[in-house]
Chain A
Amino acid sequence: MIEVKNITKKYVNGDNETQALRGVSFTIKDGEFVAIMGPSGSGKSTLMHILGALDTPTSGTYHLDKHDVSKLSDDELADIRRNRIGFVFQSFNLLPRATALRNVMLPLIYAEMPEKERMKHAKAALESAGLDEDRYNHMSNQLSGGQVQRVAIARALVNNPALILADEPTGNLDSHTGDIVLGTFQRLNKEHQRTIILITHEREVAEHADRIIYIKDGLILEDGSGHERRIINDGKRKSGK
């Protein structure tokens, strides 16, 4: 359960002030598949950083599973990321000199899980992400783009997070591979009841989600499912479903 209330984010760079978010509120229930969509500069990256506990808002609150994440220190944020959030990045960000398995195990190393259990969890995650078993011990720089992103998805799954955040996960993939990856997210959402937030600037990609939150200039313009999308004018009130 994600509850975002009236979040703002202001960047100060010398004399320049940039207001990236101007008051954003919404709720995402467990098991939802939501796309956050918006052009570049809309504030969607900033929102993703806050949702991913990489950054804290200037004002407003963010509750993830009842935990207030908006006012934590660096190391407390690291704890939240370690235990409750899985990231999938546009540029994959795998360790190039490590095997697929080792890459997937990485979050468990920081979570201090015993070595034997790590292997079990990593294999299960790779299986749900749909990587062929004969690729498990390949170095990640010997895998194809689609395979790499599956490893990255498995890595995001492995610590059994409350939320999977995918930042432009198809941005570096051709459309066919991209569709497969998006299919994987849909399957994880439907079959494993994973909560997934997809950040993208492409409507085509966003359409794979059940709900789209459209952001522009730091405000939510639209929020709703594909059939009944509601235009929000003041951006401060969350949409009814």
Chain B
Amino acid sequence: MTTRDILHETFSALTANKVRTSLTMLGIIIGISSVIVMVAIGQGAQGSIQANIQSLGSNLIEIFPGAQRSFGYSASAGRGNAQTLTPDDATAISTQVANIQDVSPEVSGRYQVTAKGTNTNTTITGITSAYAGVHNVQVNEGQFITDADGKNLSRIAVIGPTTASDLFATGTDPIGQTITIKGMPFNVVGVTVSKGSSGFNNQDDAVYIPLQDAQLFLLGKTTYLTTLSISATSPDVMTQVQNDITNLLLQRHNISDPTQADFNVLNQASIVSAASSVTGTFTILLGAVAGISLVVGGIGIMNMMLTTVTERTREIGLRKAIGAKRHDINTQFITEAVALTVIGGAIGVFLGWIISYTVTALGILQSSISTSSVLLAFGVSAVIGIVFGYYPARRASRLNPIEALRYE
């Protein structure tokens, strides 16, 4: 039989019972489209979380005081209490470690912030001018904190857009307004550009004041830092920079055993990979749930093919009587099953694409369809056709022509 003949036979067989064919196909359509949508949502979530982490700053390495800890313990009370990082460490790093773009010493803590009749509890970060470059922060209006502001102990603040809307009525220009932190008035000089939530903290809900102000007024004449943020010159040198910083600080703090370090160096890549592994698991979970419906669809195909083989027993007998070999019958039924799943798969991919496009367009969830998931879906549907078509086709091809012709 030529390919053309097989396709002709398949077409006439599938169109003979359109309702049954379309219902069976529906199983595969639902299975494939849900796999496409679920994987798209998983990958979309992964993409947006990664983008948000990247927006914290590029090639970022952060050093926290306190004992060694791994990512995921951010709620640890150790942060801010341990007094092991100093501005001198910052200077040493910037002068002695190679491939460093900028070093941003920071202190931060949560305080109650009040403005005329309103108040909010937010993160106050004491920063230098380097902060903007290291963390990709830009001012939307007004100006950013300069090094001179720190030296002069100017009581100025730059606030995030969320904090601005929390504290000031809509329509009020926050710039020039006064906010009070721990009893000290600060003059708002700028509002930052919105960056959105990273999934861990909202970067738009923040107040930035000069580092020296924070050390003096909020922490009480201390010179310690709660965070040292460092940007490396390129992603390739991250490991080198991280290792060099660790060694330098161990040496400066007179610590010989690295496990006893009184600071903790985290690089952005490890944060991204930690987040990716979470969303990756999430994607696999969603895909697996959708995959179950695909298997159910495949069983539907098998069910239909078995019914078809029984119904067409006489036809199979006749085909064998006029010279069809096992192979011919086998090919014909496998092709029918594969045609069902591949056509169903194509419709499913299209439907899945429409659903995830709609979900993204309506802003319900972020989703992204990759070519690989589309190809995979097609491959999987073809394989399902072969797997679930195999048994019925084998049964058909092994029918005894005499008994098949006698079948009522």
Q: Which residues of A contact B (CB under 8 A)?
A: 49, 52, 54-55, 74-75, 78-79, 81-83, 87, 89, 91, 93, 95, 97-98, 106-107, 109-112, 115, 155, 159
Within 8 A of A (CB), among B1-38: 1-2, 4-5, 12, 16
Number of interface residues of B (CB under 8 A): 23
Across the interface, do A110 and B321 meet the contact criterion of CB distance under 8 Å? Answer: no
Taking CB atoms, residues of chain B closer than 8 Å to A82 are 322-324
- Total A-B residue pairs with C-beta atoms closer than 8 Å? 64
Taking CB atoms, residues of chain B closer than 8 Å to A115 are 2, 4
In the complex, 19 of the A-B residue pairs with CB atoms within 8 angstroms, ordered by the A residue number, are A54-B321, A54-B402, A74-B326, A78-B324, A78-B326, A79-B323, A81-B321, A81-B323, A83-B323, A91-B314, A93-B318, A93-B405, A107-B322, A107-B323, A110-B319, A110-B325, A110-B328, A159-B322, A159-B323
Tell which of B12, B321, B328 has the most Cβ of chain A within 10 Å.
B321
Give which listed residue, A93, A98, A111, contacts B323 with CB less than 8 A.
A111
Taking CB atoms, residues of chain A closer than 8 Å to B317 are 93
Given A110-B1, A110-B328, do A155 and B322 touch, yes or no (CB 8 Å)? Answer: yes
In the assembled complex, the Cα of A75 lies from the Cα of B326 at a distance in Å of 7
Across the interface, do A109 and B402 meet the contact criterion of CB distance under 8 Å? Answer: no
- Let me know if B401 is at the binding interface, CB within 8 A: yes
Across the interface, do B321 and A87 meet the contact criterion of CB distance under 8 Å? Answer: yes
Taking CB atoms, residues of chain B closer than 8 Å to A52 are 321
Give which listed residue, B16, B315, B322, B405, contacts A110 with CB less than 8 A.
B322
In the assembled complex, the Cα of A49 lies from the Cα of B317 at a distance in Å of 13
Within 8 A of A (CB), among B92-132: none
In the assembled complex, the Cα of A159 lies from the Cα of B1 at a distance in Å of 15
In the assembled complex, the Cα of A79 lies from the Cα of B401 at a distance in Å of 14
Across the interface, do A81 and B322 meet the contact criterion of CB distance under 8 Å? Answer: yes
Across the interface, do A89 and B322 meet the contact criterion of CB distance under 8 Å? Answer: no
Taking CB atoms, residues of chain B closer than 8 Å to A110 are 1, 319, 322-325, 328
Chain B's closest residue to A105 (CB) is: B5
Chain A's closest residue to B16 (CB) is: A97
Taking CB atoms, residues of chain B closer than 8 Å to A78 are 320, 323-326
Q: Identify 9 new A-B residue pairs, CB closer than 8 A, beyond the known A78-B323, A107-B322.
A: A78-B325, A79-B325, A81-B323, A82-B324, A91-B314, A93-B317, A97-B12, A110-B324, A112-B1
Taking CB atoms, residues of chain A closer than 8 Å to B322 are 81-82, 87, 106-107, 110, 155, 159
Chain B's closest residue to A81 (CB) is: B323
Taking CB atoms, residues of chain A closer than 8 Å to B320 are 78, 81
Can you list, as one digit per residue, whether each of B301-334 has a CB less than 8 Å from chain A (1) or not (0)? 0000000000000110111111111111000000
Give which listed residue, B1, B325, B401, contacts A109 with CB less than 8 A.
B1
Q: What's the nearest-Cβ distance from chain A to residue B284, in Å?
A: 45
In the assembled complex, the Cα of A106 lies from the Cα of B325 at a distance in Å of 13
Across the interface, do B405 and A89 meet the contact criterion of CB distance under 8 Å? Answer: yes
In the assembled complex, the Cα of A155 lies from the Cα of B1 at a distance in Å of 17
Q: What's the nearest-Cβ distance from chain A to residue B341, in Å?
A: 23
Chain A's closest residue to B327 (CB) is: A75
Chain B's closest residue to A82 (CB) is: B323
Tell which of B4, B315, B328, B401 has the most Cβ of chain A within 10 Å.
B401
Chain A's closest residue to B15 (CB) is: A97
Taking CB atoms, residues of chain B closer than 8 Å to A74 are 325-326
Across the interface, do A75 and B325 meet the contact criterion of CB distance under 8 Å? Answer: yes
In the assembled complex, the Cα of A134 lies from the Cα of B163 at a distance in Å of 86
Q: What's the nearest-Cβ distance from chain A to residue B113, in Å?
A: 79
Give which listed residue, B16, B324, B402, contacts A49 with CB less than 8 A.
B402
Q: What's the nearest-Cβ distance from chain A to residue B390, in Å?
A: 19
Taking CB atoms, residues of chain A closer than 8 Å to B402 are 49, 54-55
**4 shortest A-B CB distances, which residue pairs?**
A82-B323, A93-B318, A107-B322, A110-B323
In the assembled complex, the Cα of A74 lies from the Cα of B326 at a distance in Å of 8
In the assembled complex, the Cα of A81 lies from the Cα of B318 at a distance in Å of 11
Q: What's the nearest-Cβ distance from chain B to residue A181, in Å?
A: 19
Across the interface, do A93 and B314 meet the contact criterion of CB distance under 8 Å? Answer: yes
Taking CB atoms, residues of chain A closer than 8 Å to B321 are 52, 54, 81, 87, 93
